[in-house]
Structure 1
Amino acid sequence: MTWNVFWRWGGDYLERAPGIVDTLRACRPDIIGLCETWAGDDLPHDQRGGPPPTALVTTLAHPRGPLHVIVTCLEWEPSYAADQLAQASVVATLAADPRLDGPLPVLVLGDLNAAPGQAEIAPLTSALSDTFAAGGGDPGAKTLDSAVPFAPIEAAHLIDRRIDHILARPAVRVSRAFLAGDRPVAGRYPSDHYAVGVDLDL
C-alpha cells in the first residue's frame, strides 16, 4: 500500500490522525509506503531549489528472499516539470539496478504526481508494471479527488486522477487492487489523497 498522508498541512492533522490509524488497521498492509512523512536519498531539483524531494530505498525480509522497496514523492508543479522528469529517471534507475535483481520484484511506491500515461513519469511507467491496472483496479479511480473538501483543486493537471502508484519490476501477479482512506472517518477525510493498495502474489 502507498498513501500520501498530507503531513501536518491543513491545520487539522491531529484530528485526521485517528482516521489514518483506523484505515491502516482495517487494511493491515504488509508493506506501507507513506509520503509526506519522512525523508531518504535526495532527488534532482535544479529548477525548484530548496530542500530536495527524496527516495527511501529499503530491503525487507521475505521467505523467498530480499524484497526491495523504493518509496518516493515526486515534484508536482507544472513549472518544475523538468525536475519531475529527472526525478522519475533517477527512481527508475534505482529500480533497475541489477544489484536488486532476485527472486522477488523491485517495488516503487509513492505519490508520483502524475496519472498513468503522463509524460513526466514515463521513465518509470515504461520500465515498471502498473500493479493497480494489473490487478483489475478501476480505470477511472482517482486518488486526488475534488470531493475531498481540502483537496488542492488548483492543481488542475492532477485533480480527479490516480497520481499515487505501486509499480513493479518485473511484472508480478496481482490478485486485487483497491483504494482506501476514500471515505470520511468520524466526518473527516484522513488525507487529501486516497491510499492505493494491491495484493501481490509473491
Structure 2
Amino acid sequence: MRVVTWNLWWRFGPWRERQKAILAVLRDLRPDVVGLQEVWAADGENLAEWLAADLGLHCAWAPSPFPGRWRRRIDDDTVDIGNAVLSRWPVTACRTLLLPAPAEVADGRAALYARVATPSYDIPFFTVHLTSAPGTSAVRCEQVGALAEFVSSWAGDTPHPPVVTGDFNARPDSDELRLFGGIRTAPAVPGQILYDAWDYADPSAPAATWTPENPYAARVLEPPARIDYIHVGPPGPVGEGHVLGVRRAGLAPVDGVWPSDHAAVVADLGEGG
C-alpha cells in the first residue's frame, strides 16, 4: 500500500498552473491513500475532489471552520482551506478535530480522520496541519497531545495500525515530535506508539521537505528542515502497516512549474498476509 502526504500550498503562487503539476506528480506516484493539507475550495471547485476524479480515487474533505486569517492573506473571502484524504478504497467514516491554539495564532487548523475500507480490513487514516507560527513549540505540543487522543479514540478494532500523515511544522528532534511518537519520551497517550516512517529510510537519503532547493521555499530564507511526516503504529499480527520504504517526491518542476512549496513524503507499507 502506497501512502503519500503533501501540503499543497493552498491558493498561493501560480495556483492554477501548480494544480496541473500536483496532478502530474500524483499520477506518477500512483498512491493508494493520500493525506493532503492546505487544500482549497471555491466557486463550486474543490482541488481534492478534482484530483480524486482524475486519479479514480475516493475523496473526503474537511474545510477549516475558521478560514478568515487565511483569506486575508490572499485578499479573497470566498476561498476555503482544509484537509483532505484521497483513497483507492471507500471511506466509510470521517471525523474532524479542531486543534487547540491561543487566539493570537488560531487560524482554524485541524485534523481529519477517515476510515478506509479495504477488502481485507479497515485502515484508520489521519491527516493534520499544525501551527507554523514561529516560537510556538509549546502550542504544537498541546496540538499533538490532542491529536494523539484523537488517534487513540478512532484507531478502532482492526488489524491495521493507524496511519497519521501531515505537516507538523516541526523538526524530528523537537519536543512535539518526540511526544507524538512516544519512543524518545513518554507518549502523549499511555501505551500509544507511532513510528516515524522516515526512520526506515536510507540514512544517506536527503530528508528535508522544506528546502531552498524549492524556489517557493527559498524566498523565506529559512534553513532546510524535515517537517512533513507519515507516522504508523506498530505492525499488525501478520505485518500490516510495516514500513517497506520511504522517500520524498514533488521536488522538481513540472513543465517549468513547481507543484508546491513543500515536498511530498511517500511510504510503502506492508499489507500483511
Fraction of identical pairs, as percent: 32
1:192 aligns with 2:261: yes
The equivalences for 1:141-156 within 5 A come to 141-151=207-217, 154=220, 156=222
Q: 1:179 to 1:138 in 2, by over 3 A?
A: farther
Q: Structure 2: which 5+ runs fail to align?
A: 40-81, 84-95, 183-192, 236-240
1:134 aligns with 2:136: no
Q: 1:84 to 1:149 in 2, by over 3 A?
A: same
Q: Structure 1: which 5+ runs fail to align?
A: none
The equivalences for 1:51-200 within 5 A come to 51-97=107-153, 100-126=156-182, 127-136=193-202, 138=204, 140-151=206-217, 154=220, 156=222, 159-171=223-235, 172-200=241-269
Single out whichever of 23-32 and 131-140 deviates more from structure 2.
Answer: 131-140
The count of aligned residue pairs is 199
Q: Distance in 1 between matches of 2:270 and 2:217?
A: 33
Q: Normalized against structure 2, the TM-score is what?
A: 0.67
Higher RCO by CA contacts (8 Å cutoff, separation 6 or greater): 1
Q: Is the 8 A contact 1:47 1:82 kept in 2?
A: no
Q: 1:103 to 1:133 in 2, by over 3 A?
A: same
In the TM superposition, what whole-angstrom CA distance separates every residue of 1:47-93 from its partner, at most 9, and x where no partner exists? 53543210001100023311001100101123332221111111112
1:28 to 21, 27, 30: 30
Q: Is the 8 A contact 1:3 1:110 kept in 2?
A: yes
Q: 1:94 to 1:15 in 2, by over 3 A?
A: same
Single out whichever of 114-123 and 91-100 deviates more from structure 2.
Answer: 91-100
* Rg larger for: 2
Q: Distance in 1 between matches of 2:260 and 2:248?
A: 13
Q: Normalized against structure 1, the TM-score is what?
A: 0.89
Single out whichever of 61-70 and 42-51 deviates more from structure 2.
Answer: 42-51
Q: 1:151 to 1:49 in 2, by over 3 A?
A: closer
Single out whichever of 129-138 and 19-28 deviates more from structure 2.
Answer: 129-138
Q: Distance in 1 between matches of 2:12 and 2:136?
A: 21
